[in-house]
Amino acid sequence: MTNRFTVTITDKESARDGRTAPAAPDETYLEVAQRAGFQVAATCGGRGRCRSCRIKILAGEVPPPGISDRVQLGHDEVHERFRLSCQTRVIADSAILLAPPRAETGHKILAGRAPAAGMALDSGVEKRHIRAAAPDDENDQTSDWDEVRAACGDRLVGAAPTDILRRLPGMLREKGGSLTVTTFNGEVIAIEPGDTTAHNYGMAFDIGTTSIVGSLIDLDAGEELAAVGGLNPQAVHGGDLMSRIAYAQFDAKRLQTLRAKVLGAVNSFVGEACAAAGIEAAHIHKVVVVGNTVMHHIFLGIDPTHVGLAPYAPAVRDAIELPAAEVPLKSTPNARVCLLPLVAGFVGADTVAAVLATRLDESEEIRALVDIGTNGEVVMGSRRKLMACSAPAGPALEGAQIRHGMRGAVGAIEAVSIEDDVTLGVIGGAPPVGICGSGLIDAIAKMLDARVLEPSGLLQGEDRGDLPPKLAERLVRDDAGVAFALSWARDAGIDEDITLSQGDIRQLQLAKGAICAGVMLLQKVMKLPTEKIAELMLCGGFGNYINTTSALRIRLLPELPADRITYFGNAAALGAQMALLSETERARAADVARRIEHVSLATDPEFQAIFVEAVQFPGANVVPMRRGDRRGRRTRTGR
Ligand code: FES
């Protein structure tokens, strides 16, 4: 049922070339290499804190980088297929080189600033242990705060916040003046009794229309301690941005309802992450939040009504920084919350974060990133010019509005192969309980190849005589018509067959049509023929895997040579993590947001025609879709 991969391992040092080893689902390259008898140094114990376990993936799909890869290896090595073997799970048959020499391009971007070879760790949060004496002489004209400031060498910016001053007299005398003073860019954000300098944490959140993902990170080590996530509970008030805006339009109470839901979710994710990592939420000192413009506004309690009305202007585009208590994030009241800047009404801070992560803004060559979410975005260009548009895909690729859809978690079908019968790749190697976006793309591509699905998007109904018997059997009928059974109930982790219905396939077509049309139209506006695009990076919260060949097969993207398409993973979440760990990166976000030119595609007279073409699978006769097929999903002109 589940994939088992083969890894060919080459070790230049010992000249033992080409030994192959099997890899179970979810195994890291480090585990596979060690099991195969290679002595791989793992100086930090496999925690992503050093570079000793570095590998280069010579062949096979390269898993998306994580924050540890970014921190330890830097952009150039990550881009040149280097990874930390302890952090990288095997997702395909592949060949790796242990302990490869450094990337030839080196680390131009961060040269001279990085602690190691990778990204600078300059989170702005500094924890200092001091010993301050409580005033004890009437003749000294001093105060508790004066003593703390003096013990810090007068390096503090401004006064301490009132809530800290309220508790200061007690804290100063509690442990004989032993205090830890935490600052953010010089401003005091926390004072605690005793020495807590070893506990300096932050959280990065990507708040999407359908899903929220967060990660808890050690700000000094750059190590991810816990990853959390789940559905955005606002989804009960509408699956896409426009229905979310419509729900709260000119209605302060409803806006508060949406806000309470997202804050409740973020607060509970903070608690969950702290419990998983065994740390106290009081030691979370910085939180970075990215999201599309509507999610950003609702998080802050700003009315998003006008984002949904022409000319779709946001209330603010600048980066925002505020104390957590003001949000309020009850779980971590002393943290400094930083929201990255926005580009426009429908190109938000998540897109800015994705550009940070992919370094599109520093690229010599023309590259594109396609961030697949309920509201997808396309950014195209190079260090000379960047343009972006939004592609309202709807939530199908995030597993919503699909009967057995789910996000990329344990039990989600993420890969499908079809020959005489169906074989599934399931996250965590568990019995399948649903299908996530990458599985959906793969399933549809393989169903097209196996002719279970016609290029028109119709499941084979009556005419199934040519199909292998086991596939023909999987075309089942239920209340909604024909469906294709990916897993029978007896093999599944739920009590029913896991199927894809004709309606599910229609949702997928609409989603991929919006994204493909976005890329095509941006190419048109920028006058960029396909051959000029050096790389197209697919981004999104799909977990470890998206089959780029399958993405091309279903025409999620316009025709490009397969080797120019890469899967980058959740670039928005990674960008948020980078801004969490580095004030240099957070400052870069402001520059990126200013430089991106927003293009409103739906006002383009050719949009509808291109969309209709993009909705089809390759090989289909282009038939205009019925009006109702796009109901509830509006383009910019129709938002
Ligand atoms: S062992 Fe240290 S990063 Fe992998």
44 in contact with ligand 1, CB cutoff 6 A: yes
Ligand 1 centroid to Cα of residue 566, in Å, is 25
Is the model's pLDDT at 636 over the cut of 70?
no
Ligand 1 centroid to Cα of residue 47, in Å, is 5
Strand ordering across the sheet containing 386-391: 565-569, 535-539, 367-371, 376-381, 386-391, 596-598
Ligand 1 centroid to Cα of residue 52, in Å, is 6
Handedness of CA 569, 573, 577, 583 (dihedral sign): positive
42 in contact with ligand 1, CB cutoff 6 A: yes
The C-alpha atoms of residue 105 and residue 362 are separated, in whole angstroms, by 14
Closest approach atom of ligand 1 to CA 87? 4
Count other C-beta atoms under 10 Å from residue 470's C-beta: 12
52 in contact with ligand 1, CB cutoff 6 A: yes
Phi then psi for residue 600, to 5 deg, are: -90, 105
Write down the pLDDT at residue 314: 95
Q: Look up residue 106 and give its two tokens.
A: 């080196």
- Least Cα distance to 261 among 283, 235, 279, 240 occurs for 235
Ligand 1 centroid to Cα of residue 215, in Å, is 19
Ligand 1 centroid to Cα of residue 69, in Å, is 10
Cis peptide before 561 (omega within 30 of 0): no
The residue with greater pLDDT, 549 or 102, is 549
Phi then psi for residue 351, to 5 deg, are: -70, -40
Q: Look up residue 332 and give its two tokens.
A: 């971590």
Count other C-beta atoms under 10 Å from residue 170's C-beta: 10
Phi then psi for residue 479, to 5 deg, are: -55, -35
The C-alpha atoms of residue 74 and residue 578 are separated, in whole angstroms, by 11
| Amino acid at residue number 34 | Q
Closest approach atom of ligand 1 to CA 48? 3
- Least Cα distance to 639 among 373, 258, 307, 348 occurs for 307
40 in contact with ligand 1, CB cutoff 6 A: no
Assess contact for 364 and 383: CB atoms under 8 A: yes
Return the percentage of the chain with pLDDT > 70, whole number.
92
Distant-in-sequence, close-in-space partners of 608: CB < 8 Å, separation ≥ 6: none
Closest approach atom of ligand 1 to CA 41? 1
116 in contact with ligand 1, CB cutoff 6 A: no
Ligand 1 centroid to Cα of residue 229, in Å, is 25
Residue 216: alpha-carbon gap to chain centroid = 14
98 in contact with ligand 1, CB cutoff 6 A: no
Which 3 state secondary structure label does DSSP give 549?
helix
The Cβ-side half-sphere exposure at 602, using a 13 Å CA radius, reads 16
Assess contact for 259 and 219: CB atoms under 8 A: no
439 in contact with ligand 1, CB cutoff 6 A: no
Write down the pLDDT at residue 292: 95
Count other C-beta atoms under 10 Å from residue 477's C-beta: 9
637 in contact with ligand 1, CB cutoff 6 A: no
The C-alpha atoms of residue 496 and residue 75 are separated, in whole angstroms, by 45
Write down the pLDDT at residue 111: 29
Assess contact for 400 and 377: CB atoms under 8 A: no
Closest-CA residue, ligand 1 atom 3, reads 48
Assess contact for 335 and 329: CB atoms under 8 A: yes
48 in contact with ligand 1, CB cutoff 6 A: yes
Q: Which pLDDT band, with edges at 50, 70 and 90, does 13 fall under?
A: low
Assess contact for 630 and 387: CB atoms under 8 A: no
Phi then psi for residue 109, to 5 deg, are: -65, -45
Ligand 1 centroid to Cα of residue 42, in Å, is 5
> Running DSSP on this structure, what letter comes out for residue 305?
G
Query: If you write DSSP's letter for every residue of 50-96 in order, what string do you get?
Result: SSTTEEEEEESPPPPP-HHHHHHHHHHHHHTTEEETTT-B--SSEEE
Assess contact for 596 and 387: CB atoms under 8 A: yes
> pLDDT digit string (tens) for 354-392?
999 999 999 999 999 999 888 889 999 999 999 999 988
Least confident of 176-185, 470-479, 518-527: 470-479
Closest approach atom of ligand 1 to CA 45? 1
Give Cα separations from 518 to 225, 593, 614 (angstroms): 36, 19, 9
Assess contact for 416 and 450: CB atoms under 8 A: no
E strands in 306-397: 320-323, 336-339, 367-371, 376-381, 386-391
Q: Which pLDDT band, with edges at 50, 70 and 90, does 479 fall under?
A: confident
The C-alpha atoms of residue 522 and residue 451 are separated, in whole angstroms, by 32
- Mean pLDDT across 520-547: 88
- Least Cα distance to 25 among 545, 566, 549 occurs for 545
Write down the pLDDT at residue 628: 39
For 294, the enclosing helix (H) or strand (E) is helix 293-300
Is the model's pLDDT at 635 over the cut of 70?
no
> Running DSSP on this structure, what letter comes out for residue 608?
H
Q: Which residues are paired to 501 by β-bridges?
A: 483
Write down the pLDDT at residue 110: 30
49 in contact with ligand 1, CB cutoff 6 A: yes
53 in contact with ligand 1, CB cutoff 6 A: yes
From 44, 69, 73, 223, mutation site for ligand 1 pocket: most ligand atoms within 8 A of C-beta: 44
Ligand 1 centroid to Cα of residue 48, in Å, is 4
Q: What is the CA radius of gyration of the chain?
A: 26
> pLDDT digit string (tens) for 97-132?
998 876 544 333 332 333 345 688 999 999 999 999
> pLDDT digit string (tens) for 203-231?
999 999 988 999 999 999 999 999 999 88
> pLDDT digit string (tens) for 242-280?
888 888 888 899 999 999 999 999 999 999 999 999 999
Write down the pLDDT at residue 540: 87
Write down the pLDDT at residue 463: 64
Write down the pLDDT at residue 113: 32
Write down the pLDDT at residue 118: 65
